[in-house]
Structure 1
Amino acid sequence: MSEVHAPRVSVIMPVYNAMPYLTSTLQSVLAQDLGDIEIIAINDGSTDHSGAELDRFALGDDRVVVLHQPNSGWPGGPRNRGIERARGEHLFFMDADDTMAPSALRDMVEMADVRGADIVIPRFAGTGGRRVQSLFQRHPAGRISVARAMETLSPQKLFRRELIERAALRFPEERVRLEDGIFVARAYTSARHIMLCGEHPLYFIALRDDGQNISSRAIEPENYVASCRRIAQILIDGTPDQAAGLRLVLQFFQRKGLRFYAQQRWDRMAPATRATWVALHRALLREFLPPACDAWVAHPTDRRKIALIRAGDLPGLDAIIAAESQCAHQAQAMVVRETDRGTELTLAAVPAAAGSQLRRGIPRAPRLGAVRRIDRAMRLFGGSRAARGLNRRIAAGLTRGAPRVWLVLGSRRRDRTVALAGRLVGHEPGTGALTYAFVLSPQLLQSFGPDRVDMWTVAGTTDGLSGARSRVRSDEQVVVENAADRFYTTALGNASLRVLPGVSV
């Protein structure tokens, strides 16, 4: 008896009341230019016409296999039934309201074959107003670290079947939040190689106009944080290097924990709900992250919020979260030049509101003039660390009480973020624009390795309040002196830097 042929890819698709999106989803999979696939669709007790639509496609194409079952209430069970039924060399988990580019599966399988990847992440784009992580815009195609991959915890990825069996990977079937993240985190920490695939988007993730995405359902704090604890333990257990494991947990908390301390979410919560979140997160931090880890957080607002959560300081959290709108601003690159001191960047931060905290405490023009003159004098000492330190201290004294701006540098490939405090050197009373100067030393830039580095700003006040980060914008008005190989403007109009191997200036 001949052996049954195993397809290259099994596409596993849980389906619950997915019409009319389901038709386009199935069409996009069947239109793949990799024909050696099977589609295992699990109809999880749909009450619309999803079951009939699945059967219609199955009659027309024997690559479509439909399993009907009573509603399980959550996608973990259907996905596990798909894993049990799948015969493919690779498994791809797809939602019933998304679509794929025609080359998506072939591109991912080829990358897995050539690069020996256990997991291949397709480049995402959102449809219907769905937002996707900046990872998919910033990170180049190719190998990706666990730290960067952790920025996307949804299951729409290509998994080598051998990995799933070797690590005994299955989705939680109970009604838990982040059930995808529990599965994916275990897969990441068990994989030999992880790759990001596609120069252009391959997978189009939808925001349904009927509001029925699972992620749109109300979040119960206890359930959500319990899942975060499970993922934190997975990261600790699955990372041999203890410090690296702690960094993964900290970065995970910044993304999935601190999201509830953004002003838009916080303002909608009742006081009792706020207290619940703080208590649960405080316990999580106490169990998994020693306070010394907080020094790894570059974003000054995030670092302050974590300290307030550790202290259980609800009034302090109210204050810093309320400051988010007061510290909102737009940042624009003005001058970039290469000097003996390194890459010098001057940018303007324009407050977003007339009553902004960033319009208070501005030094008089003579003091700002003194800062500029001292800076020019310090150039005579080149890029010495002592001169830079003295310059910063004098500038801080002359501008005491003024708004503060930090420049946040983020690597695209590596999980490396650094924040630098700027020197206030100018003010435009009419627009309220504040001009800040930064010096990026050759040593700092080389610490990112050969990569591209993106830039944001965070603005705040001297009494410890600060806001969200703002992407530094760039246009044709930027003055670039001897820095054309270093500084460039992205297709989206943002300011970024190149760090070239072995080149310091």
Structure 2
Amino acid sequence: MTVSDPLVSVVIPVYNSMPYLTETLQSVLAQDLERFEVIVVDDGSTDGSGEELDRFAEAEDRLVVIHQPNSGWPGAPRNRGLERARGEFVFFMDSDDTIAPHALSAMTAMARERGADVVIPRMKGVAGRGVQSLFERYPQGEIGLARAMETLSPQKLFRREPLERDGLRFPEEKVRLEDGIFVTRAYVLARTIVFCGREPLYFIALRDDGRNISSSSIDPENYVASCRRIAQILLDGVEDPERGARLVWQLFTRKGLRFYAPKRWLRMGVERKRRWVALHRAFLEDLVPVELVERASNPTDRRKAELILAGDVSGLDRLISAEEDLDHRSGVGAVARMANGVELTVSVQPQDPRRGSLIDDGVPPAWRLRAADRLHRLLRPAMGAHLGRGLSRRLADAVSTGSPRVSLLLSGRRSARRIAVPGRIAARDAAGALRYRFVLPDDLLQRFHGDRVDLSTVAEVRGLSGAPVRVALDPSAASAVAISEGVELYATGRGNASLRVAR
């Protein structure tokens, strides 16, 4: 029978979604939650999706089907579904995805327990679809706005009352990131946002017909205009202006700099590159304080943003073309306790040793490496102090002038905090890899208290730098090694090095 008082309204926009639609509906109707309704809006499908919806509706009173002429974009059908929703919560789902049988019950239970207005389900990609690292690494529980902003897709559970109180709806015109505009506003309004699921609850698919909207061509003006709308929501909705500006910079590093990755940038023609640079230059000048660019922890992000601000397309070409030549592998070689901190030794070598690599350019002769390392060891007792570390770094740089630089990026899983630590080149090991030493003071590590911290390396040569690479740690070693007071080094399931910092 029809659900008279649904706890959740599941809203699904549909446009030419066969044969995926059948499994989507089956997964929703198999939920173990007792009180829910499903509102499906057929946006003018021509492939039999409408008929399939009617077939399900004949046998299932919980399913409401709305047929309408094609609107051209998902915003309008989502809004029509939201207008019909009666549940305390509304969950937006796409018509080619599936959910675990306990997904709705798990999310609503967590929302009620934590008083949350938005619940983010743990996602998993299927059929080759990738998902953000957030969905693999973030622990179940409350999530801050900075981390939540890493996922702007609509597949989330929202408490309906705040949406109605604010009159929140999806943009209905054909704009990119229309879901991100809606979700960002919901985040800013939310009292609490939680991340739900120790195992995946939502399975997001890559369609084999290539008809995911995210795979279609992107108009730069349209896309950047939407980024501006999202940025303004953050600046207007976050009380602390400095925090709001940091969130906008974070937005740019994900949604703006994605177009400066080699796989995108190197395929563009000159005019398209100039369009992106002009639009992003204006975005940065209008919305991001220059000091945030200058303080960026990732040196490659910083260099790209600086070149965008300078309008230097040829400089971007050089920097981005060099990323492949700076690709590398890195792994923890040794850990040493020192006064007021710890020292990690990390080996770095080209990803493919058979081809030439910029990482091997400018390596000083062995005697200079030995001298730099000896100097570092002599100064190690003074490195518990900031001045001691600075002196060691300057002297080491003088001895190893021209050598490849490597930074260690520490990235908190909960906090979104990122800190870069410069390395000191030490020597080559027996396998030909370069060894770098990184000093991690206790006070730096305690900035991540109560968090898990992932380790990555970034290689730099002659003003060029590459993408971050996760540092490996042999998983056959001990499950966790105490390296400092309240700090453990451990190997993840994928054999990467991470830190666990006690509260």
TM over 0.5, yes or no?
yes
2:98 match: 99
Q: Is the 8 A contact 2:119 2:158 kept in 1?
A: yes
TM-score with structure 2 setting the length = 0.96
Instruction: Report which stretch shifted further, 49-58 or 109-118.
Output: 49-58
Cα displacement (A) at 1:398: 1.3
2:493 match: 491
Deviations 1:296-344 (A, max 9, x none): 4210000011011011011111111111111110111111233324121
Q: Is the 8 A contact 1:341 1:439 kept in 2?
A: no
Letter matched to residue 427 of structure 1:
R
1:323 match: 322
Q: Is the 8 A contact 1:90 1:161 kept in 2?
A: yes
Determine if the alignment matches structure 1 residue 186 to structure 2 residue 188.
no
Q: Is the 8 A contact 1:488 1:495 kept in 2?
A: yes
Cα displacement (A) at 1:227: 0.6
Determine if the alignment matches structure 1 residue 367 to structure 2 residue 368.
yes
1:411 match: 412
Deviations 1:256-295 (A, max 9, x none): 0000001110011010000000001111111111212213
2:4 match: 5
2:70 match: 71
Q: Distance in 2 between matches of 1:229 and 1:213?
A: 24
Cα displacement (A) at 1:390: 1.8
SS of equivalent to 1:11: strand
Q: Is the 8 A contact 2:373 2:425 kept in 1?
A: no
Cα displacement (A) at 1:371: 2.1
Cα displacement (A) at 1:388: 1.9
SS of equivalent to 2:403: coil
Letter matched to residue 359 of structure 2:
L
Determine if the alignment matches structure 1 residue 423 to structure 2 residue 420.
no
1:390 match: 391
2:436 match: 436
Q: Distance in 2 between matches of 1:256 and 1:94?
A: 22
Deviations 1:207-227 (A, max 9, x none): 001100010100010111111
Q: Is the 8 A contact 1:337 1:482 kept in 2?
A: no
1:333 match: 332
SS of equivalent to 2:184: helix
Residue correspondence of structure 1 range 205-284 to structure 2 within 5 A: 205-284=204-283
Deviations 1:373-421 (A, max 9, x none): 2222223446233322222112111111011110000001102000111
Letter matched to residue 307 of structure 2:
L
2:202 match: 203
Please tell me the root mean square deviation across aligned C-alpha atoms, in Å: 1.6
Deviations 1:58-103 (A, max 9, x none): 1111000000111111000000000111111100000000000111
Determine if the alignment matches structure 1 residue 114 to structure 2 residue 120.
no
Letter matched to residue 78 of structure 2:
R
SS of equivalent to 2:13: strand
Q: Is the 8 A contact 2:341 2:440 kept in 1?
A: yes
SS of equivalent to 1:279: helix
Gaps of 5+ in 2: none
SS of equivalent to 2:407: strand
Q: 1:34 to 1:405 in 2, by over 3 A?
A: same
SS of equivalent to 2:232: helix
Q: Is the 8 A contact 1:328 1:468 kept in 2?
A: yes
Q: Distance in 1 between matches of 2:268 and 2:383?
A: 52
SS of equivalent to 2:468: strand
SS of equivalent to 1:450: coil
Cα displacement (A) at 1:350: 1.2
SS of equivalent to 2:323: helix
Gaps of 5+ in 1: none
Letter matched to residue 454 of structure 1:
D
Letter matched to residue 394 of structure 2:
R
2:343 match: 344
Letter matched to residue 405 of structure 1:
V
* Percent of paired sites with the same residue: 58
Q: Distance in 2 between matches of 1:166 and 1:331?
A: 51
SS of equivalent to 1:486: strand
Q: Distance in 1 between matches of 2:438 and 2:453?
A: 15
Q: What number of residue pairs does the alignment pair up?
A: 497
SS of equivalent to 2:11: strand
Q: Distance in 1 between matches of 2:376 and 2:62?
A: 70
Q: Distance in 2 between matches of 1:477 and 1:379?
A: 30
Q: Distance in 1 between matches of 2:43 and 2:335?
A: 57
SS of equivalent to 1:319: helix
SS of equivalent to 1:326: helix
Q: Distance in 2 between matches of 1:378 and 1:311?
A: 40
2:39 match: 40
SS of equivalent to 1:436: strand
SS of equivalent to 1:459: strand
TM-score with structure 1 setting the length = 0.96
Q: Distance in 2 between matches of 1:478 and 1:386?
A: 35
Cα displacement (A) at 1:476: 4.5
Deviations 1:345-365 (A, max 9, x none): 111111124211111111111
Cα displacement (A) at 1:464: 1.1
